[in-house]
Structure 1
Amino acid sequence: MTVLVTRPDERGQQLADELNRVGIVALHSPLLTISPGSQLAQLPSQLSQLKPGDMVFAVSKNAVDFAAQTLRDIGFAWRNDLLYLAVGHRTALHFTEQTQQPVRYPLVTENSEGLLALSEMTDLTDKNILVLRGNGGREYFSEVARQRGATVELLECYQRQNTELDPVETARLWQRCGVNILLVTSMQSLQALLELIPREEQQWLLDCCLVTVSERIAALARSYGFQQVEVAQGADNANLFTKLTELTSLP
């Protein structure tokens, strides 16, 4: 039994290393590469234009990292008169470390729906919201926030691009290594996975157990033909580790 960890950056490698340490064979093979976004230079001016009480929403840790580095490079401090938001606990903690400001996040449902259920999000009339995110991604939060009266600006802090891999050789390598559990943490990674593997090899892929981080990604995976799909309780490495160890301990 071998786990394929497709999560990009150091978090994916850390998770694979932790699994290997407890005797679970894991390969780290990122399907996406992360690079600085095309709009980072606009961040200081976008922050300056916000009114006191306006909001800054960081979609992910990557968005926080690239935004924070951009501001550090020019000596620009995060403002203390804005409301900072994140979609999950881990991202909120990281955002707090970078901004030195409190960050609000949903306590139960760590997604856009949960964020929109916060009391601060009920009436957004005359509010400006700056969304720090990657290229593409889900538009649900922005659409609902606008319906509630907000002006929403999207700022691309990072770009995700498919990693260049040889399709046939990669599929054969994974099969030789006995991969039968796939960890996929985003819509983009799932799509990159299916684009990478040749159609004639995809039945093997669809027979694998796919572990992901949201019911939305799980539903898409099932629509593509995956039969065994598991959803972890959270997108952080701790919850993913728990889910993967549970699966690998089954008889």
Structure 2
Amino acid sequence: MTEAVDFQIRRPVLIARPGARAQLLEEALANHGYATVMLGVMTLDPVTPDPEDVLRWCRQPPDWVICISPTAVTRWAEEVGDRGHRLCRAGVHWAATGSSTQELIAEHFGRTSLAPEPDNEEEGTSASEALLALPEFQDMTGQQILIVSGHGGRPLLEETLRARGGEVNILPLYERNLHNPTFEGQRYLEAGNYAAMIVTSREQLDHLKDWCGAIAFRRPLIVSSRRLAEHAAEQGYQRIVIARDATPGALASAMVRRAAHCDTADADDADDRQIDDDFGNDEVQQDDAPDSDKASDS
């Protein structure tokens, strides 16, 4: 087992995630002895909202403020500035899609927010689905909801809350922009000479495919959700590990666990396809039938 870990450490881990959480992930991996290479394929760039919209929400706060990412919280704090105390008055409820977002809400606004418990989520449940499963969001009749987010993304949260009777407004405060990988990253992707690659969105995964050589599709790929893992399998990636959630600690732990499961260096290059699920001990094998377009339990 030690030999497998040493083998992994000699090669870098490629990181596709953007922003501050990429740096936290880099630090978490470094604590386990892994070198990293930032691919630089995505940036989270600010979007300036209409000042009247921001002023309106500060003057007449909604019943719920839902932040869908740490970046959404940070950008919201930047926009509201010292007017943010109005959003913290009694009667305004806060919600987050995960623990990292929840922590930033407490840091910037001093508020406790509702968020799904990662350990209680069903296997394969997305952050939005887990949030929507909470009792507080089953009947939203007459509730005014502000979703602070980035441009694009799945409309599941908005559509479901509206279908449950809520009056939903979206405030996009940043956008995701794609870029070519760094020159160093392109070399690693083409040669497949790395320990693993960590990807946290479908956009990153689709974009990186154009730079991946044949060996790269056989290298370990660590993703943050089962939905993303299934899409990766459709793209042809053969050794996929699903982290428990998208936090830097969970992604780093998935990398460590993946290395520990390698009996030898050659195990990574085996030509079998599997999705290794960090939610538990079950493994999901990809159906190799030509017309299969999803992973199936076995």
TM range (shorter): 0.7 to 0.9
1:240 aligns to what? 251
1:63 aligns to 2:72 (yes or no): yes
Displacement, 1:158?
0.9
SS in 1 for 2:55: helix
Q: How many residues were matched structurally?
A: 243
Displacement, 1:59?
0.2
Structure 1 pair 56/182, CA: closer, same or farther in 2 (3 Å)?
A: same
Structure 1 pair 182/40, CA: closer, same or farther in 2 (3 Å)?
A: farther
- Residues 88-103 of structure 1 correspond to what in structure 2 (within 5 A)? 88-103=98-113
Aligned-partner Cα distance in 1 for 2:198–2:235: 16
Find 2:201's aligned residue among 186, 189, 192.
186
What's the C-alpha RMSD, in Å, of the aligned pairs?
A: 2.2
8 Å CA contact retained: 1:17, 1:26: no
2:220 aligns to what? 209
1:25 aligns to what? 35
Structure 1 pair 89/165, CA: closer, same or farther in 2 (3 Å)?
A: closer
Displacement, 1:75?
4.0
8 Å CA contact retained: 1:40, 1:156: no
Displacement, 1:154?
0.9
2:163 aligns to what? 147
Aligned-partner Cα distance in 1 for 2:232–2:58: 37
1:125 aligns to what? 141
Aligned-partner Cα distance in 2 for 1:136–1:245: 32
Aligned-partner Cα distance in 1 for 2:79–2:146: 16
Structure 1 unaligned blocks of 5 or more: none
Displacement, 1:170?
4.1
1:39 aligns to what? 49
Structure 1 pair 18/104, CA: closer, same or farther in 2 (3 Å)?
A: closer
Aligned-partner Cα distance in 2 for 1:177–1:230: 17
Displacement, 1:123?
0.7
* Structure of larger gyration radius: 2
Question: Which residue type is aligned with residue 178 of structure 1?
Answer: N
TM-score (norm 2): 0.75
8 Å CA contact retained: 1:112, 1:141: yes
Percent identity over paired residues: 26
Displacement, 1:26?
1.9
Displacement, 1:192?
2.4
2:231 aligns to what? 220
- Residues 67-86 of structure 1 correspond to what in structure 2 (within 5 A)? 67-72=76-81, 75-77=83-85, 78-80=87-89, 81-86=91-96
Aligned-partner Cα distance in 1 for 2:134–2:28: 34
The one-character-per-residue Cα deviations of 1:83-122 (angstroms, maximum 9, x if unpaired) are 1000112211211221112200111226111111111111
